[in-house]
Structure 1
Amino acid sequence: MAATEHSQKIKQDSQEYLITALLQLLETKDFNDITVTQVVKRAGVSRMAFYRNFDTLEDVLIAYIQPKISAGFDNIINRIPQDQKINALGSLFEEISCTLKMAVDKHYELIIQNIFNENMAKFYDQTMDWSQFTTMQRKYWIKFMGAGVYAIWREWLISGQVETINDIHVLLADFQISTLKALKNETTK
């Protein structure tokens, strides 16, 4: 058992070294200009160690970013009262705004967007009452709102956060309410 624990510790250390190395390289390079060779050299591990832990450089970023974003969403879904969830989402967006800004600047935004959309889908799926809607309506409304929330958040962030976060909360709540009303009206016709 001790050998297994030791092996797990080495694997975890290798993952952390690789993540740290990639993040350090991103300080001065575009994501598309970074190679596995550069990352393993910076991390001080072998290529074999890289491929034991990850398939691609995207996987390294996912391993770093996904737990942080998912933990924030899980906290909101499971611990925040329903009437405070939109405000809590805004706070989460502010917390991870530097992560998104770097992803935009260093050209790996799609990774963030995919993680964000997965979590928005989970958020809406678990926090909304879908009893009055069809499966199709639920599916596409979640996709529509997830993409819309991301687009608004991104625009707000890259345009210098001119509006207050409260203005953004109100806008998102208005969009959410009006689109749900439109769907509900469609269902009752």
Structure 2
Amino acid sequence: MTNKYNAEQNKITKESILGALMSLMEKKDFKNISITEVSQKAGVSRMAFYRNYSIMEDILIDHLDDMFREYSTLLNHKEISNYEMTRLFFYYFRQHQKFIENLLRSKLTHLILERSIEFLDIYSKTITCTMDCSPEFEKYNIGFIAGGFFNVLMIWCKSGMTESDEKMAEIVHDRLSNHIAGITLTDF
């Protein structure tokens, strides 16, 4: 019971810290936001901050990891087409537009790219390639795909995400189809 309670309290603390940071990032440059400021706005102690994070960027990385875990649950079908995987990508990231805009303003979008590469590296075992995916080439395929998705996501976000998820999937699908035949996901 105590562990469940502690886990729930920890989750609430992390959500409060993230919410406080997002609010502050809408008004201030990330580099000018202090841990004390985030803690005060979140209504938690600095000690609570340091129980969960070492540095401010850890808040963003932790949230990105959660985002990619949630995105992977959308892909929980045994087989999913490239188009649907891509549509779900844009659908999911549209839900996090403010977060992405905050990273853009703060010049921290490299964190999205880094986490994208990490995500694809983990899930690359479930991807069916139409070309040689030997271990020596896998890192290049992952870099290519992550970089493409990342850059398209950044352009889309900078333009206000005006195109529909379906239109974005259509744009990317044609290019992606030349590199991946589809994915078959194992249980996460």
Q: Give TM class, smaller chain.
A: 0.7 to 0.9
Residue identity in the other structure for 1:82: I
1:177 alignment counterpart: 177
1:118 alignment counterpart: 118
Contact 2:22 2:102 (8 Å CA) reproduced: no
Residue identity in the other structure for 2:119: N
Counterpart CA distance in 2 for 1:89 and 1:6 is 33
1:85 Cα offset (Å): 2.0
1:75 alignment counterpart: 74
Counterpart CA distance in 2 for 1:156 and 1:103 is 14
Moved more, 23-32 or 119-128: 119-128
Counterpart CA distance in 1 for 2:8 and 2:149 is 39
- Note the 1:3-18 alignment, pairs <5 A: 7-18=6-17
Counterpart CA distance in 2 for 1:180 and 1:127 is 7
1:105 alignment counterpart: 105
Higher helix share: 1
Contact 2:112 2:150 (8 Å CA) reproduced: no
Residue identity in the other structure for 1:41: Q
Identity among equivalent positions (%) equals 23
Number of residue pairs matched by the alignment: 179
- Note the 1:42-61 alignment, pairs <5 A: 42-61=41-60
1:180 Cα offset (Å): 6.0
**What TM-score comes out, normalization by structure 2 length?**
0.75
Moved more, 15-24 or 121-130: 121-130
Counterpart CA distance in 2 for 1:90 and 1:172 is 10
1:94 alignment counterpart: 94
Contact 1:18 1:40 (8 Å CA) reproduced: yes
Counterpart CA distance in 2 for 1:95 and 1:9 is 24
Higher strand share: 2
Counterpart CA distance in 2 for 1:50 and 1:170 is 42
Residue identity in the other structure for 1:33: N
Counterpart CA distance in 2 for 1:70 and 1:168 is 22
* Structure 1 portions without partners, runs of 5+: 182-189
2:40 alignment counterpart: 41
1:135 alignment counterpart: 135
1:136 Cα offset (Å): 1.5
Cα RMSD of the aligned pairs, angstroms, is 3.0
| Greater C-alpha radius of gyration | 1
